Amino acid sequence: MRTTAESTEIAASGTPAVELSLVVPIFNEEESVAPLIARIVEAMTGYAAPWELILVDDGSTDATLAVAREALGRPGLDLHVVALQRNFGQTAAMQAGITQARGRLIATLDGDLQNDPKDIPAMVSELERRELDLLVGWRQNRRDGLLLRKVPSFIANRLIGRITGVRLHDYGCSLKVYRATVIKQVKLMGEMHRFIPAWVAGVVPSSRIGEMPVTHHARQHGVSKYGISRTFRVILDLLSVMFFMRFRARPGHFFGSLGLGLGALSAVILAYLSVEKFILGNDIGTRPLFIIGVMLFLSAVQLITTGILAEMIARTYSRDDSSVSYIVRDVYSGEQPNS
C-alpha cells in the first residue's frame, strides 16, 4: 500500500520506473560478488514489479570491483555499480547506495552471502501488508560464533532497545526494507548503520517500524570485517545516539544543565567558606574545599559557554546540511530491463 506522499509523487511524475532498489555495500568480497548477483537474480525472478540492483564498492583492494563490473551486461538485470574513491566504511557506502536508488522501496543487505535474497520479496509484502516504513530482518538462527558475535550482539541489542525505545531483537541485521521517502530523510554518518531503526524513529513513529524472521547463512568466503573490538565501538556509538536523539536540536540544554548543577554546588561551597572567612574569621586560603569550589565554578562557566557554542553550531549545521560522508569515483550502469 502506497503512502499519501508516494501517491502524490507518482501522480506528479507518472508510474515510477523502478519499484524496488536493492542496495549492497561490498568491500573485498571478490569471491562472493558473482554468487551474490546470481542469488539475487534467482530470488527476484518472480517479483512482478521493476527492480534494480546497486552494488557499492567501498574502496576494495582486491578484484571486487572488476568482478562486479563483469555483470553489467547481464540480460534481465538493471545493475549499477557505484565505486567509492576509497574505503569510507559500511555506513557511508550504504548512504551512497540509498542516494543513488530510484525505487519507491529500498532493500539493503550484506555482500558476504550471509543474508538470503530470497527473503526480500516476502519482506516487501510484509512491509506493505503491515503499512510499515521500515521492516528489519531478525536472524533467529544466526550462523556466527557465540563468543565473538552472538553474545556481544545480544548485549548490544538489549542496550540499544532500552536507550532508544525501539524494541527489536536484531539491530545489526543488514537485511532491511524501507520506504524511500522515509530513509532518504535520514542522513547516515560515522558507523551508525547499526542504529538505523533509532534514526528512522526520529522521523516516523516507532509503531511504523517492525521486524520479521529471516534466513542467515554462515560466511562462505573471505573473513569477517568485525571482531570483539566492535563491542567497544558500539558502546561509544550508543552514547552518541542517545545524545543525538535527546539533545540534537538543543545541545545547550545538555551542557547547560551540567553547568548549572556544578555552579549550584560551587555556590554552596563558596557561600559556606565565605561564612567561615568573614563571620567566623577562619583561614580558608589553604583549604582543599576552597580549591574545589573555585574549580567547580570554572567548570560551570566552561560548560555553559560550551552549550551556547553547541547551540550556535547546531543551528548553523541545520541550515546547511548538504555535506556527504563519501566520495564517488565512478558509477557504472547496465541498463537492462528485468521485468
Write down the domain spans for the chain: 4-247+323-334, 251-319
* Burial (CB count <10 Å: 0-12, 13-18, 19+), residue 48: exposed
Give the span between the Cα atoms of 248 and 10, in whole angstroms.
33
| DSSP labels, 279-305 | IS----TT-HHHHHHHHHHHHHHHHHH
Alpha helices in the chain (DSSP H): 4-13, 30-43, 64-70, 90-100, 119-129, 151-164, 180-183, 196-200, 230-247, 251-274, 288-319
| C-alpha triplet 307, 308, 310: angle, nearest 5° | 60
pTM: 0.74
Interacting residues of 17 by C-beta distance below 8 A, sequence separation 6+: 50, 102
Whether 22 contacts 120, CB under 8 Å:
yes
Give the span between the Cα atoms of 110 and 141, in whole angstroms.
17
Give the span between the Cα atoms of 320 and 315, in whole angstroms.
9
Cross-strand pairs, 177: 107, 135
Give me the tens of pLDDT residue by residue for the chain, a chain 339 residues long: 555 555 545 444 444 579 999 999 999 999 999 999 999 999 999 899 999 999 999 999 999 999 999 999 888 899 999 999 999 988 899 999 999 999 999 999 998 888 999 999 999 999 999 999 999 998 887 765 556 556 666 767 777 777 777 888 888 788 999 999 999 988 887 667 778 888 888 888 888 999 999 998 876 665 555 555 556 666 777 777 777 777 777 888 889 999 999 999 999 999 999 999 899 888 888 889 999 999 999 999 999 999 899 888 877 765 555 667 677 888 888 755 555
Phi-psi region of 76 (alpha: psi -120 to 50; beta: other; left: phi over 0): left
Give the span between the Cα atoms of 30 and 25, in whole angstroms.
13
Please tell me whether residue 235 adopts helix, strand or coil conformation. helix
What superfamily in CATH does domain 4-247+323-334 come from? Spore Coat Polysaccharide Biosynthesis Protein SpsA; Chain A (3.90.550.10)
Interacting residues of 30 by C-beta distance below 8 A, sequence separation 6+: 60, 62, 63, 64, 66, 67
Whether 258 contacts 303, CB under 8 Å:
yes
